[in-house]
Structure 1
Amino acid sequence: MVLPGGKVLSRRRSRLWHLSNLRMLPFTAALRRQGFEAVQVRYRTRGWNGAEQSPVADARQALNRITASDPGATVVLLGHSMGGRVAAALLSDGLSGDAAIAGVVALAPWWPAGTSLELDQGTRLLVIHGTADRWTDPAASQSTVEMAQRSGADAEWIGVEGAGHFMLSRPRCWHRLAIIAVSGMARGVTELKQGERR
């Protein structure tokens, strides 16, 4: 399930041609070429909107549709920026056990201070973050991963040297790492090999 980014505050309708949605289409297409039934979520509104957490309800509905049509489905969440926060919210709802979420791949996630990741045993986390990101904080995402590791979670953080938030620098690296990670999680492979990180 592909979770695009968005805005901190916006109740404007989300459109397919918004950059946050367009940015994730190549990931969705690449996963489909690999044989996965990739579903890219389109939120009703563009913003997170504080306590409303507007996109989380849309993501829950998409997840429910997947598991209703295939109760044995293994789901991997691939989220960019705000999409990473949506993934964290789904995990904290306790949905990982119910929906067989095998893993989360978070690309430059927007995880403000206090964001928690409640990973069930067997749910893997990989964060890929550009070290030059000025929109979301790579140090914060690394700290969140380290906290998850200390609690015993299967979690890893990979920095893309010199890359910013929008994945325009070294795009092949972002795509390769994300597709390898999603494929591995869906198939039960627990880690990236050293050569795949470069």
Structure 2
Amino acid sequence: MAQRPPSAAVLVLHGGRENGTEPPPPGPLNLPGIRMRPFVRAVDRAARAAVGNVLVTPVRYGHRGWNGDRADPFHDAVAALDTLREEAGDDLPVVLLGHSMGARAALRAAGHPLVRGVVGLAPWCPPEDPVAQLADRDIVLVHSDRDRLTSPRATRSLTARARSAGARTCMVTVRGGDHAMIRRASAWHRLTTGLVTGLLGSGSLPGPVGAALALPPTAGATEGTLDLDLDLGPLRTRASSTRAGVPDAS
């Protein structure tokens, strides 16, 4: 019997290094990949319970690092999206979930026709990175205020730049967290699961996130920046919102 194509997909992109042309280490030696496994499991359970036939799968990298202008993981993400498009058609809604370097790759690949939104965890957001490809996409970036490897300030700046370029954006600050998302791990997992399923249209986004995504392009850099504990905690799904013309049932 032919396998039924998925009704939606989540592509997961783990972190990496600034430079490194060697392949990622295999299996349990690939620590950035291992760190994303709890997110894959949590999102898979929630999405399948809400929608049914949802594909949640990691993107395989050919190289360990970003590698300057080569932007290797970005091209890996696009190749994975192209494969999905060939297999499932042009109408498959996809959310990209990335951590650190993987979030940078997800943001760069968000212009692909299948992509509906991006959830970026502790993202690497250099100020020179483009944002035009994020227009008409839902972008939620989550960052610890104590991250020492990637910059929360740069994430806030990209959130505002992307909104000015026509994206629907929100930033959530996790106080007391860390780059590896080990501190307050359960909060990272719960928040991410709710954001991904909400962006897929298979659940309701937290109310303040929906309100932030609906801000006008002229909103300032600090607008749409939420505090996990003050604005979203405890993590209960609130009334669903229609995201600037994108209905919840996508």
TM-score (normalised: structure 2): 0.72
Alpha-carbon distance in structure 1 between the residues aligned to 2:95 and 2:202: 11
How far 1:105 moved relative to its partner?
0.2
Q: Which runs of 5+ in 1 are unaligned?
A: none
Q: Does 2:2 correspond to 1:2?
A: no
**Structure 2 residue 103 is the aligned partner of structure 1 residue 119:** no
Does the CA contact (< 8 Å) of 1:16 and 1:42 recur in 2? no
Given that 1:126 and 1:156 are in contact with CA atoms closer than 8 Å, whether structure 2 keeps it comes out as yes
Q: Deviations over 1:12-70 (max 9, x none)?
A: 21123211100111111112212131011121111001111111222112111212111
Match runs of 1:97-176 below 5 Å: 98-99=113-114, 101-117=115-131, 118-121=133-136, 123-176=137-190
User: 3-state DSSP class of the match of 2:55?
Assistant: coil
Give me the whole-angstrom Cα distance separating, in 2, the residues matched to 1:86 and 1:16.
Answer: 21
Q: Which amino acid aligns with 2:27?
A: L
- Residue 103 of structure 2 corresponds to residue 84 of structure 1: yes
Matched with 1:182 is 196
Q: Tell me the distance in 1 between the aligned counterparts of 2:62 and 2:134.
A: 27
Residues 21 and 42, structure 1, Cα contact 8 Å, conserved in 2: no
CA distance in 2, matches of 1:83, 1:193: 27
Amino acid at match of 1:5: G
Q: What TM-score do the two structures reach when normalised by structure 1?
A: 0.90
SS of residue in 2 equivalent to 1:116: coil
Structure 1 residue 197: deviation in Å? 2.3
User: What secondary structure, in the 3-state scheme, does the structure 1 residue paired with 2:57 have?
Assistant: coil
Equivalents in 2 of 1:110, 1:189: separation in Å?
27
Q: CA deviation at 1:188?
A: 6.9
| Structure 1 residue identity aligned to 2:93 | T
CA distance in 1 between partners of 2:118 and 2:203 (Å): 13
Q: Which segments of structure 1 move beyond 4 Å, counting only runs of 4 or more?
A: 188-191
Alignment RMSD: 1.8
Provide the C-alpha distance between the structure 1 equivalents of 2:202 and 2:163, rounded to a whole number of angstroms.
19
When residues 158 and 170 of structure 1 are mapped into structure 2, their CA distance, relative to the original with a 3 A threshold, is: same
Aligned to 2:243: none
Partner of 2:43: 31
Which one has the largest radius of gyration? 2
| 1:139, distance to aligned residue in structure 2 (A) | 0.7
- Give the drift of 1:168: 0.6
**How many residues were matched structurally?**
192
**Structure 2 residues without counterparts, runs of 5 or longer:** 1-10, 49-53, 209-228, 234-250
